[in-house]
């Protein structure tokens, strides 16, 4: 996930973009703060949450709220209620405020910016390249990361055109592919690397990026060969594509004696942490 803070009327609203599910998540408390101008925004949101949970027609917006780690004003990361633009609009409608319409327009603008990037992926890639350079990534790593993203985009384009829902079903298939090639789930891999709300791919080694791309390329070509449509068909293609990359990973590991899946990351140096060992599976 990429964490992108922004401002509305001089006030910060934190948002995250999940590349794997192609979903924007917004900090609900930040939006409530903007709408209410209250020094008790947390209490206001707590009361509103209870109301949404009980109000007919509002249960869906309440149920789609998730807790993600965002950077607080004191610089520490804390779990914060987040919602998609769709759910957030329902919440905005529940708050009487003269700023409701401007917030809706702002949300629409965020969606428009994403549409621009989808229509012209070079915009997104240029922004990403600048960010990676600022974080000290090598040109070689950046080239591999961008190649992998292009492979990923072609796969998700196929899914979108063959009855796979963005969000939950994208995540299910992504996890299947990852579990097959790496021997660990996406969550386990992130845990190995000590990541929370970070994008796993932004912290992969060159080898991890290459095997991820091989697994996703294989998945797409297998799906295309059988015209896989719907979740069940694409689950089968995901498993087969992931296994192809798993076999290549195992062959490389047998020659080098080193694991491709690694706890290494690009996080800023901190105090030593305990890395939880996760055994990768030996699938053939």
- Return the percentage of the chain with pLDDT > 70, whole number: 81
| Mean pLDDT, rounded, of the chain | 84
- 36/221: higher pLDDT: 221
Name the class of domain 2-116: alpha beta
At residue 224, the pLDDT reads: 97
Q: Please give the average per-residue pLDDT across 44-64, as a whole number.
A: 73
Q: Report residue 120's pLDDT band, with 50, 70 and 90 as the boundaries.
A: low
Q: Dmax of the chain from CA atoms?
A: 65
Rg (CA), the chain: 20
> CB burial class (10 A; 0-12, 13-18, 19+) of residue 262?
middle
* Full-model pTM: 0.62
Q: What confidence score (pLDDT) does residue 65 get?
A: 85
- The highest-confidence range among 7-16, 54-63, 174-183, by mean pLDDT, is 174-183
The predicted-structure confidence for 140-199, as pLDDT tens digits, reads as follows: 999 999 899 889 989 999 999 999 988 889 999 999 999 999 999 999 999 999 987 688
> How are strands ordered across the β-sheet holding 77-83?
2-8, 11-18, 23-27, 77-83, 66-71
Query: What mean pLDDT do residues 212-236 have?
Result: 98
How many C-beta atoms lie closer than 10 Å to residue 61's C-beta? Answer: 21
pLDDT beyond 60 at 135: yes
d(CA 71, CA 1): 13
CA dist., res. 161 & res. 20, Å (int): 17
**pLDDT for the residue 272:** 47
Among the residue ranges 62-66, 70-74, 234-238, 271-275, the one predicted with the least confidence is 271-275
pLDDT at res. 271: 45
Confidence of residue 105 (pLDDT cuts 50, 70, 90): confident
- Contact between 280 and 183 under an 8 Å Cβ cutoff? The reply is yes
What is the per-residue pLDDT across 233-270, written as a single tens digit (0 to 9) for each?
Answer: 999 999 999 999 999 999 999 999 999 999 999 988 76
What residue spans in the chain does CATH classification 3.10.260 cover?
2-116
**Average pLDDT rounded to a whole number, residues 7-14:** 76
């Amino acid at each position: 996930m990429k964490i992108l803070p922004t401002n509305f009327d001089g006030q910060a609203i934190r948002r995250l973009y999940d590349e794997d599910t192609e979903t924007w998540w917004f900090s609900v408390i930040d939006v409530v703060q903007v709408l209410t101008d209250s020094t008790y925004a947390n209490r206001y949101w707590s009361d509103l949450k209870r109301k949404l949970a009980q109000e007919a027609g509002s249960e869906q917006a309440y149920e789609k709220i998730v807790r993600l780690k965002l950077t607080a004003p004191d610089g520490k990361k804390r779990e914060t209620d987040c919602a998609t633009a769709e759910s957030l609009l329902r919440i905005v409608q529940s708050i009487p405020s003269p700023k409701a319409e401007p917030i809706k327009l702002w949300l629409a603008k965020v969606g428009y910016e994403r549409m621009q990037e989808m229509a012209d992926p070079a915009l997104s890639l240029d922004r990403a390249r600048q960010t990676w350079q600022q974080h000290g990534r090598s040109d070689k790593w950046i080239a591999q990361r961008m190649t992998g993203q292009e492979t990923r985009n072609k796969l998700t384009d196929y899914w979108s055109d063959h009855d796979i829902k963005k969000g939950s079903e994208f995540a299910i298939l992504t996890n299947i592919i990852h579990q097959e090639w790496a021997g660990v789930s996406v969550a386990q891999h992130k845990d190995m690397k000590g990541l929370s709300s970070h994008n796993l791919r932004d912290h992969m080694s060159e080898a991890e990026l290459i095997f991820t791309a091989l697994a996703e390329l294989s998945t797409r070509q297998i799906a295309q060969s059988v015209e896989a449509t719907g979740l069940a068909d694409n689950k089968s293609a995901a498993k087969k594509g992931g296994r192809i990359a798993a076999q290549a990973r195992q062959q490389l590991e047998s020659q080098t004696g080193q694991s491709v899946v690694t706890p290494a990351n690009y996080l800023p140096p901190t105090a030593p942490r305990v890395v939880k060992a996760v055994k990768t599976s030996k699938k053939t």
